[in-house]
Each structure stands twice: as structure tokens, then as C-alpha cells.
Amino acid sequence: MEQHGKGLPVYIGRYNLRGYGLGGTIISNIFKYAIPLLKPIAKQILVRAKNEAYRTGRDIAQDVFVKKVHPKRAIKNRSKEAFKRVAKDIQKQSGTGKRRSRTTIRDIFAKQASKRKHSPKSQKKAKKKRKE
């Protein structure tokens, strides 16, 4: 069979699609599960780093303009202090910051007793006892 006309030579690759392989699936699964776990921690770190950056910038400007320290030295000293403060604060932080209420066994039984006391069935029983 012959092709009619003057066609351009075109490379047509393989028709079937290829997968990611074993390495791609493992890495994608790690990121799929790790990102939601690490997101709140990263958010805390970024908020703390932002606040620390403002504070460090203020301190550097104060060193340069008020104390007449060379800018390069002021940046070096203040940035070391900032990294130490952030690292120390990250170790202290854990959890979401929400307080959990402590429920004891006594509280659980007290709630169940109050539910029984005010339930419609117990009120009917109380009325029957009163009539007898």
C-alpha cells in the first residue's frame, strides 16, 4: 500500500502508557500521607519564624543605627540568636494548643445517672409508684 501525497516524516512513539514504577508509587504515597501530618507543624514554624524575623530586623536596625555596629556583624549576631530562639521554641511546642477536658469515671457515671433520672421511662415509673 502506498501513501498518496507528500507527507512529512513524523515519529510516532509507543502507543501504550507506562506507569511510575515501584519507586514512584512509594514516594507518592509517602507524600500523600506525610503532608497532612506535617502541615500544622510547618504552619507553626512559619508563624514563629515570621514573628522572629520582624523582631530580628528591628534588633539589627537598632544595633546599626543606635549602637553603631557594622551591619554585617549585626546581621550575623542577631540571626544566630534568632535561630536559637526559634529552635528552642519549636521543642517546647507540641499539639494543637486546644485543652482537653478531663473526664473521670465518676463524671461518666454521674451523667448516666442524671440521664436515667430525667428520662421519660423513669418519670412514668415514678408516677406509678406514687399512685400505689
User: 35-87, pLDDT tens digit by residue?
Assistant: 888 888 888 888 888 989 999 999 999 999 999 999 999 999 999 998 888 78
Instruction: Name 82's Cβ contacts closer than 8 Å, sequence gap at least 6.
Output: 52, 53, 55, 56
The whole domain housing 85 covers 41-94
Identify whether 86 is part of a domain: yes
Q: Domains in the chain: how many in total?
A: 1
Q: Cα dihedral sign for 42, 47, 51, 53?
A: positive
Q: Model pTM?
A: 0.44
Inside any domain, residue 78: yes
Q: What value does the mean pLDDT of the chain take?
A: 75
pLDDT level of residue 103 (50, 70, 90 thresholds): low
pLDDT attached to residue 1 = 55
The larger pLDDT score, comparing residue 10 to residue 59, is at: 59
